[in-house]
Amino acid sequence: MECDDWGVGGGDMNAVPDGVVQHILSMLSNVRDVAACACVCRRWRDCVPYLPALFFPRNAFDAAAVGGGAADEAIGRMVAAVSRLRELVIYCPFSMARLPAWLAMRSASLRVLELRMDAAADKEAAGGGHLDCVALATGLEELRLWGVLMTNAPAWGRLQHLRVLEIVGAPLRDTAITETVAACPNLTDLSLLGCDCSGDVSIQLSMLQRCRLDFLGGGNCSLLLSAPRLESLEAQGFTWISLRGGHNLRRLSIAKSTGAEGV
């Protein structure tokens, strides 16, 4: 099926250059919009491999599709179809066991990854070693995880290209934080928000410029932060904070929930 005259000003979509069509469709990311456009005609469907991003909202699939595994199959097909995928955002329920295959398919091009782990269909797996597969995306620059269970540091090796790491609403162990951050030595932005942690957190990042740490719990967590290029620091929930190399600091915000505080 070709894109025939739609009767809009007497124009013909076939007269629009391929590059223009690809540019217009590249602004889409919501998978529902992508699927609808792919059904319009063959020419539009042929533009799908050039899409830079895929966004799966929480309501992308109905409960029956999620429970029957059809949602995972659909995610896999779309990831396979977009050969130049740079950004993958999954908020809908999915199987953690399928994540390694999806990342492996687009490991060369993927730059931004965002996952809502609290929506994972197999929540038990979220605390296991399935996050190790993030290391497959060696060129990853931004990583955002919601609701992940990180009692042990994932085996990421060294994510040299990662610049932004954000973890939201996660139970963490102090050693897991230290080891996870150490695997991302070139971070410029670090955010750990609404995380439950206690103990001694040590963060050493020579490139870090912006840091947001919002910890929950009984206020029995201390922070040792070494970041010579740090410009902005927001910290909450720590009883004791030590900052080394804050000569470039421009913005500082410190709050506490319980306990004494030392800086």
Query: Which is more confidently placed, 120 or 118?
Result: 118
Give the tens place of pLDDT for each residue, 95-108: 888 999 999 999 99
Give the tens place of pLDDT for each residue, 193-252: 998 887 899 999 999 999 999 998 666 789 999 999 999 999 998 888 999 988 899 999
Eight-class DSSP state of 85: -
Domain extents in the chain: 51-255
Give the tens place of pLDDT for each residue, 222-235: 999 999 999 999 99
**What is the arithmetic mean of pLDDT over 84-94?**
92
Cα distance between residue 18 and residue 42, in whole Å: 12
- pTM of the predicted model, to two decimals? 0.84
- In the three-class reduction of DSSP (H, G, I as helix; E, B as strand; rest coil), residue 262 is classed as strand
> What pLDDT sits at residue 108?
93
